Amino acid sequence: MILEGSLDARGLRITLVVARFNADITERLQRGALEALKAAGAKDEDISIVQVPGSFEIPLAAQVAASTGEVDAVVCLGCLIKGETPHFDYIASAAAHGITAAAAATGVPMAFGILTTNSQEQALARARADKTNKGWEAATAAIEMATMLRTLRAREGLRA
């Protein structure tokens, strides 16, 4: 038996957690994510946007949003551009581990839409206004996970 999610976002409540650092890029990721959600049938009133200063702050906001019990998936959006110091590595690692831990702690799927690039040019190439936009991709992953988990939980509930 194969159990998989769908790309139907009707009825799903989704929170975007968006970092303001490198806002010129993260705004494009946000647009891409919103377009993916709308294209999949999500309603405006079911979508929330939480802004945080930088990618480092994303995990805590994602965990608190998910802890309300009123969110089916979280889409984490940020942009880390490598500089001359190891700051990039610390923030990227903290964000990735923090989001993983937040999803595990809450049971709410969290998509990783944080770019980690060597340059602004690379970041722009991943934030185009089409389906290659990483915000679009992250939102799509969130929908698939939320719908898959709904089915999985219903199935497990029948067994219990």
Which residues belong to the active site? 87
Query: Half-sphere exposure of residue 87, counting CA atoms within 13 Å on the CB side?
Result: 9
* Residue 22 touches ligand DLZ, criterion: CB under 6 A: yes
x-or-dash string of contact with ligand DLZ, 51-90, rule CB under 6 A: --xxxxx--------------------xxxx-x---x---
Q: At what angle do helices 134-159 and 23-39 cross, to 10 degrees?
A: 50
Token digits of residue 116: 């980690």
Give the three-state DSSP class for 70. Answer: coil
Q: Kindly determine how many residues on this chain lie close enough to bind ligand DLZ according to the rule CB under 6 A.
A: 15
* Residue 112 touches ligand DLZ, criterion: CB under 6 A: no
- Tell me the closest approach of the beta carbon of residue 104 to ligand DLZ, in angstroms: 22
The answer to whether 42 touches 83, Cβ cutoff 8 Å, is no
Rounded Cα distance, 82 and 132, in Å: 21
* Residue 19 touches ligand DLZ, criterion: CB under 6 A: yes
The residue at minimum Cβ distance from ligand DLZ is: 54
Question: 70 or 89: whose CB is closer to ligand DLZ?
Answer: 89
Across the chain, where does the E strand assignment appear?
14-19, 47-52, 73-81, 110-117
Question: 22 or 106: whose CB is closer to ligand DLZ?
Answer: 22
* Residue 21 touches ligand DLZ, criterion: CB under 6 A: yes
Give the three-state DSSP class for 14. Answer: strand
- Tell me the closest approach of the beta carbon of residue 122 to ligand DLZ, in angstroms: 12
Collect all residues with Cβ–Cβ distance below 8 Å to 106 and sequence separation of at least 6. 63, 66, 67
- Tell me the closest approach of the beta carbon of residue 85 to ligand DLZ, in angstroms: 8
- Tell me the closest approach of the beta carbon of residue 76 to ligand DLZ, in angstroms: 11
Tell me which residues touch ligand DLZ (CB under 6 A). 19, 21-22, 53-57, 78-81, 83, 87, 91
